[in-house]
Amino acid sequence: MTTANATIADWRSYPVTAVPVALTLHPGSLQVTWSDGRVSPFHDLWLRDNCPCPTCVYPVTREQMFEIADVPDDLLLVEARIEDAGVVRLGWSDGHASVFHPGWLRAHAYDAESRAERAHEQAHPHLWRSEMNQQLAGFDYEEVMTSDQVLTDWLRALRDSGLTQIRNAPTTAGSLDGLARRVAFIRESSFGVMFEVKSKADADSNAYTAFNLPLHTDLPTRELQPGVQFLYCLRNDAIGGNSRFVDGFAVAEELRRVAPACFELLTQTSVEFRNKSARNDYRCNAPIIALNDDGSYREIRMANFLRGPFDVAPEVMPQLYEAYRLFIRMTREPRLQVARRLEAGQAWVFDNRRVLHARDAFDPASGERHFQGCYLDRDELLSRLFVLERKS
């Protein structure tokens, strides 16, 4: 995108919601007054660091070539003026010039009001409990495969709620592969690119048995758990085997409210998860509840059948068991669960780093039960969605 000879170092478009009406130079910074009255300070180094000119940013890739460490220590902003359409042109003491599009500059302003506005506009997880049984977002397979708008709607629902269902899907081999690759490339694991979920006599995972599989996230033994999981039903004639889901973020939020000391312990204590077989030995130490820097939820890591012995100081051990047991008991409460049977031609698609899933026991002698599964990373979901939203 180019405007008044200003190359925007980003693939996104930035609407002009306000334009600069006054520029004031201060020692080390530029103050921008906008047409809606907002005032935004920009430090000299920040402005020089983000110069979008073709010398600083390669126009083909939109990636930066310039490094801020290379500017003189005594660099000064010596000129600032507003041009047509609100474009801001800057002149530097070393002779360099920078030109900023007003939409880009406003979108990246870091005054308190602008930062609060961005935080409000960002997508926030929609926490859910048993009401999701009625509110579950369902999407038609053929529409997802052929319509970018439906694909966008589905990925937004998956991002925000963490749990969706695909319906009216074919039950032929390769259908899951096509659905997953409609989003991005598939993440391979020790279970393969695609994994077949059947009861097996020589099972190397509890998933490949017929007994109850308690609420868990997949592969907590990996440094990065898979972000998105697909469970695609090809056939389900067996008695039992219903799926159950819990929003781990909602459980964590309730735990934070009713037992803050337990919540804090599960966010600060690393627990070892192990996944061992004759050929593999995966281990990862991480908290059960992981938070972002701002206190929001990043991920839940839980699979009791893959957990190693707790390893904490003796005086902490009783408190850790209290917190761990309470968390599991809360996930078992029906008021927090979605419980459904998945039929042939349906697929669960969910955020594996947020939503815990379980399977009730089933009778393999009563009929065939055949699911397929695969993983994507959460980054791939978000990247696909960002690109789709450029068109909307």
More confident of the two residues 10 and 287: 287
Mean pLDDT of 204-233: 86
For residue 165, what are the β-bridge partners? 138, 348
Is pLDDT at 281 greater than 70 in this prediction? yes
Q: Tell me how far CA of residue 224 lies from CA of 4, 283, 378, in angstroms.
A: 44, 11, 10
Q: Report, in this order, helix, strand and coil percent for the chain, each rounded to 5.
A: 30, 30, 40
pLDDT, residue 201, reads 43
Range 56-65 contact pairs with CB under 8 angstroms and sequence separation of 24 or more = 56/9, 57/7, 57/9, 59/7, 62/9, 62/10, 62/11, 63/9, 64/9
Is pLDDT at 129 greater than 70 in this prediction? yes
Instruction: Concatenate the DSSP letters of all residues of 72-93 into one string.
Output: -TT--EEEEEE-GGG-EEEEET
pLDDT band at residue 294 under the 50/70/90 scheme:
confident
pLDDT, residue 276, reads 83
Alpha carbon distance 332, 153 (integer Å)? 30
N-to-C CA span, the chain: 16
Is pLDDT at 47 greater than 80 in this prediction? yes
Instruction: Concatenate the DSSP letters of all residues of 178-246 into one string.
Output: HHHHTTSPPBPBTTBSSEEE---TT-SSGGGSSS-EEEE-S-TTSSS--SEEEEEEEEE-SEE--EEEE
pTM: 0.89
Q: 247 with 127: CB under 8 angstroms? A: yes
CATH H-level, domain 130-390: superfamily: Clavaminate synthase-like (3.60.130.10)
Tokens found for residue 132: 């999701």
Evaluate the CA torsion angle 320, 321, 322, 327 in order and state its sign: positive
3-state secondary structure of 139: strand
Mean pLDDT of 177-189: 97
Mean pLDDT of 129-156: 97
Alpha carbon distance 311, 352 (integer Å)? 25
pLDDT, residue 1, reads 41
Q: 356 with 300: CB under 8 angstroms? A: yes
Q: Which of 369, 366, 225 is nearest to 301 (CA)?
A: 225
Question: Which of 13-22, 80-89, 356-365 bottoms out in mean pLDDT, i.e. has the lowest?
Answer: 356-365
pLDDT, residue 363, reads 83
Q: Domain limits of the chain?
A: 20-121, 130-390
Alpha carbon distance 183, 228 (integer Å)? 11
pLDDT, residue 3, reads 43
- Is the CATH code 3.60.70.12 the one for domain 20-121? no
Q: 218 with 225: CB under 8 angstroms? A: yes
